[in-house]
């Protein structure tokens, strides 16, 4: 009798486990269970900052950030014999605008499964009916892209805009009963201009589980829709990134709640995470986690408490294919240097010496001891000095010439000061140039670039 009670309790717990995040009345609530130990450890706050394969749950737009093909495997040990598993794969394709106008398209496939160990079933008359199993499964196909590459979304501000979508097939099974439904997730992410890699503001929105009702044992229920709005910020602490995120959740079957968390990535090797999920239900409270990044492999662990039921331990493993990320970064740096050196040389040949100085200085920002870039910048600067001799040399002479000529004078002085390592004085000259000619594009571009580099060195 005791054994039967245990089996019954286990089955009951399975159907309540998927509802730990909800006090509402929707069906298929296992869809509310977050995936990937990384973002669980951050308090389930991720809409604005998620950028790996587990973005499939938090915000599909985040899949646009993956660079290398990646597999993911995740395991969550719930209460008793209940387990939640994930397996997935994602890859970014360079389409050359061949697919719907997108030059880069990230695609992913994931399977999520909540299951309980089979138990002895009993009928209403207490007769044995054999082994009984129960499971919930979601099969998800995802797509994401940088929307700036799509002709309908041109970017004039320089900020980044990403979009993503999930297509879901959902099924539930208990003994001989089953049910299924289809659903859709839509997500967007925005990154502040010129802060893409290291620091800056981010924002995101994710609308989850827009879909059909699911009918189980003659009873139809709506899927657990949720609208997630998030804002995040990343800054550099002692050379290492610290990432904050706060999400506001608006589900269709319970009160709104807030998730907030932080991640500190030390030397691109060790990640420390902590977060909090607000609310009064059993799934609210503090979360914490840790991650280890070993080149092509990363493993993450998170713990989340669930009141009297104890807690859940989550482990996820990501395996990237291809070259080690540090080698990719080195190749990117080499390509960047080659690009700016080539562009600087062409500008020099065209007599656009001020712009050439900017290009060569960009190389020196990446590689300060680059002899070729330094010598090329000196040659371009010498040409600027020769040009300046033909321009007015004192401010009192400026009113004697047209505004555009005066603006060019200040512009050339600004570039000269900049190349001499005096960015603050250069900004003052460029401001004077813009006062004379507010539409002076070169002065605007130079000022923006110098200010950006000044922020990087702070």
344 DSSP β-pair partners: none
- Most confident of the ranges 44-58, 124-138, 207-221, 396-410: 44-58
Per residue in 150-164, pLDDT (tens digit) is 544 444 455 688 999
H-helix or E-strand spanning residue 87: strand 82-99
What sign results for the dihedral spanned by CA atoms 14, 16, 22, 25? positive
pLDDT of 54 over the 90 cut: yes
pLDDT of 16 over the 60 cut: no
State the number of CA atoms in the 13 A half-sphere of 160 facing the CB. Answer: 22
Q: What is the pLDDT of residue 1?
A: 38
Domain 2-319 indexed as CATH 3.40.1080.10: no
Q: What is the DSSP string of 178-194?
A: EEEEEEEEEEEEEE-TT
Q: What is the CATH number of domain 327-456?
A: 1.25.40
Beta carbons of 119 and 14 less than 8 angstroms apart: no
Among 76, 80, 87, 111, residue whose Cα is nearest residue 16: 80
Per residue in 413-432, pLDDT (tens digit) is 787 777 777 888 888 888 88
Beta carbons of 53 and 317 less than 8 angstroms apart: no
Return left, alpha or beta for 218; rule: phi > 0 is left, psi -120 to 50 is alpha, else beta: left
Beta carbons of 236 and 8 less than 8 angstroms apart: no
Backbone angles phi, psi at 413, to 5 degrees: -65, -40
Per residue in 362-404, pLDDT (tens digit) is 777 667 667 788 788 788 878 877 776 666 554 444 443 456 6
Per residue in 180-192, pLDDT (tens digit) is 899 999 999 998 8
The Cα–Cα gap between 243 and 211 comes to 33
CA distances to 56, 62, 143, 144, 310 from 187, in Å: 10, 8, 10, 9, 33
Using the structure block, give the residue that is written with the tokens 């600067």: 381
pTM to 2 decimals? 0.66
Q: What is the pLDDT of residue 118?
A: 72
H-helix or E-strand spanning residue 243: strand 240-251
Same fold, 2-319 and 327-456: no
Say what percent of the chain tops pLDDT 90. 31
The Cα–Cα gap between 255 and 94 comes to 42
Query: For the chain, which residues make up each domain, given as ranges?
Result: 2-319, 327-456
């Amino acid at each position: 009798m005791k054994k039967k009670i245990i089996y019954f309790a286990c089955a009951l717990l399975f159907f309540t486990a998927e509802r730990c995040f909800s006090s509402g009345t929707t069906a298929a609530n296992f869809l509310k269970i977050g995936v990937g130990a990384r973002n669980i450890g951050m308090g389930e706050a991720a809409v604005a900052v998620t950028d790996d394969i587990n973005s499939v749950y938090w915000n599909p737009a985040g899949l646009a950030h993956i660079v290398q093909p990646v597999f993911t495997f995740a395991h969550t040990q719930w209460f008793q014999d209940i387990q939640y598993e994930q397996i997935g794969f994602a890859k970014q394709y360079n389409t050359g605008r061949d697919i719907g106008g997108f030059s880069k398209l990230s695609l992913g496939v994931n399977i999520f499964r909540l299951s309980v160990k089979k138990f002895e079933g009993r009928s209403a008359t207490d007769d044995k009916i054999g082994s009984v199993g129960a499971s919930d499964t979601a099969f998800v196909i995802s797509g994401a892209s940088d929307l700036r590459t799509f002709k309908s979304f041109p970017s004039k501000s320089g900020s980044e805009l990403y979009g993503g979508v999930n297509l879901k097939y959902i099924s539930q099974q208990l003994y001989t009963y089953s049910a299924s439904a289809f659903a859709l997730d839509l997500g967007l992410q925005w990154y502040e201009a010129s802060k893409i890699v290291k620091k800056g503001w981010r924002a995101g929105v994710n609308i989850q589980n827009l879909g059909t009702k699911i009918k189980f044992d003659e009873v139809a229920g709506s899927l657990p829709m949720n609208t997630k709005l998030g804002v995040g910020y990343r800054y550099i602490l002692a050379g290492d990134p610290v990432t904050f995120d706060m999400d506001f959740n608006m589900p269709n079957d319970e009160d709104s709640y807030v998730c907030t968390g932080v991640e500190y990535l030390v030397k691109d090797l060790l990640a420390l995470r902590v977060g909090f999920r607000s609310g009064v239900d059993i799934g609210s409270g503090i979360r914490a986690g840790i991650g280890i990044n070993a080149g092509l492999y990363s493993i993450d662990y998170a713990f989340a408490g669930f009141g009297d039921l104890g807690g859940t331990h989550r482990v996820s493993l990501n395996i990237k294919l291809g070259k080690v990320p540090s080698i990719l970064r080195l190749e990117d740096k080499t390509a960047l240097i080659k690009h700016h050196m080539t562009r600087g040389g062409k500008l020099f040949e065209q007599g656009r010496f001020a712009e050439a100085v900017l290009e060569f200085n960009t190389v020196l920002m990446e590689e300060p001891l680059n002899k070729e870039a330094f010598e090329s910048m000196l040659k371009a600067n010498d040409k600027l000095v020769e040009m300046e001799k033909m321009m007015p040399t004192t401010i009192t002479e400026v009113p004697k010439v047209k505004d555009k000529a005066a603006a060019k004078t200040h512009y050339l002085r600004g570039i000269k000061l900049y190349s001499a390592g005096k960015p603050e004085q250069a900004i003052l000259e460029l401001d004077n140039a813009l006062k004379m000619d507010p539409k002076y594009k070169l002065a605007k571009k130079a000022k923006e670039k110098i200010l950006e580099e000044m922020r990087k060195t702070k």
